[in-house]
Amino acid sequence: MSEASSRKQLVARRGELLAEFFLEDFAPAFLARPSLDLGYDYLMGIANAEGGMNLAAVQVKATERPVPSRMPIRRDMYDRLAHSNVPVLLLVADVKRNLLYYAMPDSDAHADVAGAGNVVVHLTEIDESVKQELRARLCGLPEGASAA
């Protein structure tokens, strides 16, 4: 294994660990890493207020570079994320600064076409208030409601 591919794997694993710690703060009923390549890094279930379970898929990207507010991703990846039958959380981990950013592409969102088969997604840095808003969204609470 080359040093470059080894470093790339370490960066990816560190990004996954940051994501796992973040997702555990949501107190999910389950957080599973699929054994088959489903196109997502994690599947998560969060109890909702009606006693049911909301499911979400999570895709993690990791980098050692500062994360811009707008990031290009491949069109095929965007289509998979945006046209899934469950909400998909795209987490981008800045592993040097221990920062997370997110986007939730959906079929109604208007992403910018970046040319050459790429789409630009708008990322939001995750702080404590954004984390609470995101948790409420994943739990299916009305906008503005807080998730305890």
Tens digit of each residue's pLDDT (9 = 90 or more) over 102-119: 999 876 555 666 666 888
At 118 the pLDDT is 87
Question: What is the rounded end-to-end Cα distance, in angstroms, of the chain?
Answer: 46
pTM of the model: 0.85
**Burial class for 111, CB neighbours closer than 10 Å (0-12, 13-18, 19+):** buried
Query: Which helix or strand (DSSP H or E) is residue 115 part of?
Result: strand 112-115
Residue 45's pLDDT is what? 96
In the predicted structure, residue 123 carries a pLDDT above the cut 60: yes
- The full set of domains in the chain, from first to last, is 3-139 (3.40.1350.10)
pLDDT of the residue at 111: 61
The most confident of the ranges 41-55, 103-117, 132-146 is: 41-55
Residues 2-44: tens digit of each pLDDT: 776 799 999 999 999 999 999 999 999 999 998 887 889 999 9
